[in-house]
Amino acid sequence: MVFDESFKTIIIALLGGLIPALLWLWFWLKEDKERPEPRGLIITTFLIGMASVMLVLPLEEMARKFISDGPVLTIVWAAIEEVIKLFVVAIIAFRTAYVDEPVDFAIYLISGALGFAALENALFLIHPLQLNETTVSLLTGNLRFLGATLLHAVASGFIGIFMGLAFFKGKSTKSIYLVIGVLTAIVLHSLFNFFIIGNNGENFFAVFGFLWVISIISVLLFEKLRRMGDQSL
Is it the case that residue 8 has pLDDT exceeding 70? yes
- Residue 127: its pLDDT value, please? 64
Q: How many CB atoms lie within 10 A of CB 219?
A: 15
How many whole angstroms separate alpha carbon 144 and alpha carbon 151? 9
- Residue 141: its pLDDT value, please? 45
Parse the chain into domains and list their residue ranges.
2-232
Length of the chain: 233
Across residues 76-103, what is the average pLDDT?
95
pLDDT tens track for 211-226: 888 999 999 999 999 8
Question: Do the Cβ atoms of 154 and 211 come closer than 8 Å?
Answer: yes
Confidence of residue 228 (pLDDT cuts 50, 70, 90): confident
- Residue 130: its pLDDT value, please? 59
Is it the case that residue 205 has pLDDT exceeding 90? no
How many whole angstroms separate alpha carbon 151 and alpha carbon 167? 24
Write down the mean pLDDT value for the chain.
85
- Torsional sign, CA 70, 60, 96, 150: negative
Is it the case that residue 107 has pLDDT exceeding 80? yes
Across residues 71-98, what is the average pLDDT?
95
Is it the case that residue 102 has pLDDT exceeding 90? yes
pLDDT tens track for 166-203: 999 999 999 999 999 999 999 999 988 887 655 555 56
How many whole angstroms separate alpha carbon 222 and alpha carbon 101? 12
Element (H, E) at 66: helix 53-66
- The SS3 assignment for 133 reads coil
Show Cβ contacts of residue 205 under 8 Å, excluding neighbours closer than 6 positions: none
Across residues 24-32, what is the average pLDDT?
89
Separation of first and last alpha carbons in the chain:
60
- Residue 140: its pLDDT value, please? 46
Q: How many CB atoms lie within 10 A of CB 75?
A: 19
How many whole angstroms separate alpha carbon 174 and alpha carbon 180? 10
- Residue 199: its pLDDT value, please? 57
Question: Do the Cβ atoms of 196 and 147 come closer than 8 Å?
Answer: yes
Is it the case that residue 44 has pLDDT exceeding 50? yes
pTM of the predicted structure, to 2 decimals: 0.89
Beta strand spans in 162-222 (E): none
132 backbone φψ class: left, alpha, beta (φ>0; ψ -120 to 50): left
Is it the case that residue 73 has pLDDT exceeding 90? yes
